[in-house]
Structures are given as structure tokens and as C-alpha cells.
Amino acid sequence: MVYCHVMRRSVFIKTFGCQMNAVDSARMLSLLSSASYRAAATLEEADLVLLNTCSIREKADQKIYSDLGTLRRWKQRRPGRLVGVGGCLAQQDGEALRARAPHVDIVFGTHNIANLPEMVRRAEHRLPTLAIGMEEGITHWDVVPHLPAGAVTAMVAIMQGCDNFCAYCVVPLVRGREVSRPAGEILSEIRALAGRGVREVVLLGQNVNSYGKKEGEIPFPELLRRISAVEGISRIRFITSHPRDLDDRTIRLFGEAATLCPHVHLPLQSGSDRVLAAMGRGYACAGYLAKIEALRQVRPGMAFSSDFIVGFPGETEDDFRETLSVMKEIRFDSAFSFRFSSRPGTRAAEMKEKVDPLVAADRLRRLQELQAAHTRERLSARVGREVDVLVEGASARDPGMRCGRTPCNKTVNFHPGSAEGPVRSVLVTGAGTHSLLGKERPANA
């Protein structure tokens, strides 16, 4: 008998940016696994490196071009190595990216993932590819994202792109116009995930509350209701909600469906109505506060997180103080905050009244200090309580400990007991800067 031993090549995927990119990377891995590539544990071991890029802020661009410099030397160290760049920066810079980094073999945009195996095959034969067309729409939704063994939580893209064109944001330009996936497809993906042991799904979209409106699909709250009925799924989360489009029906559902986790990420961006109008966000602060209040009414103890941009063109010290004041009123559990970054092709890039970078940096520091205090306060309030933790794996701080999250999305590192199963009852014994400490309650307690 003759054994034919085929050496599998390996791929290292580095993901930048948001969860949507993380899911796309999982799809890329899935596609390449069926094209005889395995995941490399390190960059040095890999034959192919893919950068799945982000272009939301200028800093992300700079980091990626700096990585590409490193990859030029990486490629020279072993013949036959290949470099591919996908995602938002590839979509945005296209040909210019290859001109700046000629050692890149494949440049592929946000709508061109499905053809990755073909592009890699071409690159193996020294044929470079530039694929950034959006005309065909999204062709990769039926590619099942790679799921790590034993995963209890999974992200599921329900839509892509955005029609909002907020003045500062490059997403509609690089991800394209908003497109929703058919509900039936989403539900079968979730059923399959439940069958593989997944207990929590995180639904992804740039504006999940407008899910299906263009396509005449079922409304978002109905989608949530149907997912709630999937056997095995006990936790549903979604990101990102748009404050303008979060409707009463979805809010009410938080009081009806126990599977909906009591945490909402609702990006406010600014506490000043003047700045919100200039950003083109389509809501004012009072409306935002009313929705937070309504959510707290239907689900007491709900956790909230948000995104903020400081130093948007024309933002004054008074505008900024309004942001701090809304933060004090709401007391978010956590927040992502950024200094405004001017992005090519956006309306804000043309706005004249730029804020001095040092002033913007100082505002960001003040905002982050305030948020850190609120985060500490929110975490400390949980000490002494018992929480249900969905266990995701070993703790990074101590391999003897386990790590998981509460329904409110708080990370908990805890000393395990003897209980079995993915959800453990944990007594919170301490609070850190971003996470909780705990110990598992004995199974018969």
C-alpha cells in the first residue's frame, strides 16, 4: 500500500477592530480549513498570514501599515510565504495598499471573503489578487464560522453594513449599505450552534434595531422571540443597538424573555444635543435617557454600556461637560471612549472647527477617569452577591481558576468547586478594575 502524506500549510489570522471582524475571521479559517490549511499557533510557524483589518480610526490604519512592514521581513525569511489583507482598511485603500506594501499577495474587501480559497490558490502560483468589489453583495453568509472546541458562546452576524452615515463614521463606506440576513438562515445557524453545546449567542450588526426593515423580514423583537425559543440557548445578547431605533417592543421584551441578558450596549457618543445633531445621530439626550429609564423599569438591575467620542469638530468645554453630566446621571457599567479621528470620505472630515488635539486628549482623560470610578462602583456593588456564571474556560490570571460572565456581562474569575455544567453559581468575593473575583458555591448549598 502506498501512503500519500500531504503536508498541510498553516495560516495565522490577526484580527483588528470589532466583533464583526472576529466573525469574518472565523469564516476565513473555516474556508481555509476546507482548502487544506490549518490554524498556526504562531506567526513564525505560518505559511500564510491574513490581517483582517479595521479603519474606524486613524490609529488602526497606522498599526496595520506598521505590521505590514514587519511582515515584509517575515516573508523574506522563508520562500513561499504569503500575505493577505482583508477587511475595512483593504476595502478603503485597495490598490493604494498594494502600492504601499507590494509584498502583499492578496487584498480582499468586506464582500469578497467567500473567494478566499481561490485567491490563496492563485497566490501560491504567484498570481496576486485585488478583490474589493461590492456589487455582488455578501456571498459569505452561508460559510459557517469556525467554532473552537467546547465553546459555550458564539457570535452570529444578523446583518452587515449601515445606512446611517453618522458624520464621523467610515463604516457605511467600507462595509457598504445595510443588508439583513434572512431570519430562517439565522435561526438554523443558531439551532446548529445549540446542537454543538453553545448556550449563549451574541447577535451582531451595526444597528440591530433596524434588522430586516429594508428586506421586509420579521422585526428585530420577533427575531429575538424566535431565538429565545431555540432549545439549549439560555442567553441572548446583541450589539449594537442604535438609541434612535431601539423600540418599545424590544424594550418590553426585556421584561418578558428571561433569555435576554440584562445588559444593553447603547452608544450615546455625546451628552450634548448640539453635538449629537452635528454628528447626525438622530436622537437627543432626553430621548436617550427615557429609553434607559424604560429599560430599568421593565428589568430592574439592568447593566448599561456605551461608546463616546470626544473632540468632535465644534465640541466646546460646555458640550463636553454635558457628556460628563449625563454619565453621572446614568452611571454606565462600562464604556468605550475615543478621541475623534478624521476619516476620509466622511462629512466630519470636511468640518472646519477642529478641536485642538491636546484639548481632546485632556477631555478623553477626564471622561475615562469618571468612567473608571463608575465601573468600580458598579463592580463593587456586586460583592457579596451570588451570580450565575457561564464558564468560558480557564482564567488568564490563574489556570487553577475559571473564567466566565454574568448575565450582566461582568467577567468573573473564580475558584471552582465540584459542580458540573456550563453555568455555575458563584459568590462574588471581590471587585477588580474591570472584573469580579469569586468562589463557586458548593453544589448542595
- In the complex, the smallest distance separating the C-beta of residue 83 from ligand SF4, rounded to whole angstroms, is 28
Q: Is 270 in the site for ligand SF4 (CB under 6 A)?
A: no
- In the complex, the smallest distance separating the C-beta of residue 172 from ligand SF4, rounded to whole angstroms, is 5
- In the complex, the smallest distance separating the C-beta of residue 28 from ligand SAM, rounded to whole angstroms, is 19
Question: Could you say which of 97, 169, 190, 428 contacts ligand SF4 (CB under 6 A)?
Answer: 169
- The Cα 167–Cα 309 span in angstroms is 12
Q: Is 166 in the site for ligand SF4 (CB under 6 A)?
A: yes
- The Cα 213–Cα 419 span in angstroms is 44
Angle at 157 between CA 156 and CA 163, to 5 degrees: 155
- The Cα 202–Cα 239 span in angstroms is 7
Is the CB of residue 133 less than 8 Å from the CB of residue 107?
Answer: no
Identity of the residue, 12 or 340, whose beta carbon is nearer to ligand SAM in the bound complex: 340
- In the complex, the smallest distance separating the C-beta of residue 273 from ligand SF4, rounded to whole angstroms, is 17
Q: Which residues bind ligand SAM (CB under 6 A)?
A: 18, 56-57, 168-169, 171, 206-207, 240, 242, 267, 269, 307, 309, 338, 340-341, 343
- In the complex, the smallest distance separating the C-beta of residue 417 from ligand SAM, rounded to whole angstroms, is 38
Identity of the residue, 115 or 240, whose beta carbon is nearer to ligand SAM in the bound complex: 240
Identity of the residue, 169 or 355, whose beta carbon is nearer to ligand SAM in the bound complex: 169
Identity of the residue, 274 or 441, whose beta carbon is nearer to ligand SAM in the bound complex: 274
Q: Is 207 in the site for ligand SF4 (CB under 6 A)?
A: yes
248 burial (CB, 10 Å; 0-12 / 13-18 / 19+) is: exposed
Question: Could you say which of 51, 71, 120, 162 contacts ligand SF4 (CB under 6 A)?
Answer: 162
What φ, ψ does residue 218 adopt, rounded to 5°? -60, 150
Sheet bearing 153-157, strands edge to edge: 153-157, 200-204, 235-239
Identity of the residue, 53 or 206, whose beta carbon is nearer to ligand SF4 in the bound complex: 206
* Total of chain residues touching ligand SF4, rule CB under 6 A: 10
Q: How many CB atoms lie within 10 A of CB 290?
A: 12
Identity of the residue, 343 or 402, whose beta carbon is nearer to ligand SAM in the bound complex: 343
- The Cα 120–Cα 127 span in angstroms is 9
- Rg (C-alpha) for the chain, rounded Å, is 23
Least Cα distance to 152 among 223, 31, 234 occurs for 234
Least Cα distance to 397 among 426, 425, 438, 369 occurs for 438
- In the complex, the smallest distance separating the C-beta of residue 349 from ligand SF4, rounded to whole angstroms, is 14
Binding residues vs ligand SF4 (CB under 6 A): 162, 164-166, 169, 171-172, 206-207, 242
